[in-house]
Amino acid sequence: MSLFVSYIVGFVLILSLGIFAISGPTLVFFILFPLFLIMVCNSGVLSENENDPSQRNYIDANTAIEYSRLLDKIMQREKFYLIKNLRIDEISKHLMLTAKELDFIIHEAKHKTFNQYLDDLRVLEVKEMINIPEYEDCDLKCLAEACGFSDFNDFENALYRVFNTTPQEFRENFMEQDV
């Protein structure tokens, strides 16, 4: 609620109470009441209940899938997932969405959290980098860090979730596939 609207409401309230003379208490009321209204409105007391499922206005499933495809294209082209500590609001700006909307889209279309989505892309990038001859002497910790993982444990967890394997088995299986 704007300050102007609050003053109008306060003025109408004063007139409805029959107070026509501007005295000290009326002036204080006229100044403080609009500020009180703004504070109450901004605290959410008078706003819609966001926890009520009937009040949510989320993107439908088909639109979420389309946005998900667009997100995949952007991520593959720009490789944002290589950035350590990437936040969802940094990516949502590229899709002209709020972070909450993008979070909903990823959850609805991919059944993952944003971090799981990023980690999956990073694991696939590690898999690609192992194929590059310049990186064949690098250990997995170095490759995981180059692909955006800030912690090797996060890489291990993501590797297990994506390929159902440990880093050692992943390296061995991958080397066996090359031979």
* Residue 47 Cα distances to 39, 55, 139, angstroms: 12, 11, 54
Distance CA 81, CA 128 (A): 14
Q: With the C-alpha atoms ordered 29, 35, 41, 45, is the resulting torsion angle positive or negative? A: negative
Note whether 59 and 105 are within 8 A (CB): yes
Residues contacting residue 66 through CB under 8 Å, at least 6 positions apart: none
Which two three-digit tokens encode residue 69? Answer: 């495809």
Distance CA 90, CA 31 (A): 40
Show pLDDT as tens, one digit a residue, over the chain (179 residues): 565 666 666 666 666 766 666 666 666 666 666 666 666 666 554 444 445 454 345 688 888 999 999 999 999 999 999 999 999 999 999 888 999 999 999 999 999 999 999 999 999 999 888 878 888 788 899 999 999 999 999 999 999 999 999 998 888 776 555 44
Nearest to 147 by CA among 127, 175, 167: 127
Distance CA 27, CA 15 (A): 13
**Where along the chain do its domains lie?**
3-44, 59-111, 118-178
Lookup result for tokens 């192992």: 130
Note whether 127 and 135 are within 8 A (CB): no
Note whether 103 and 112 are within 8 A (CB): no
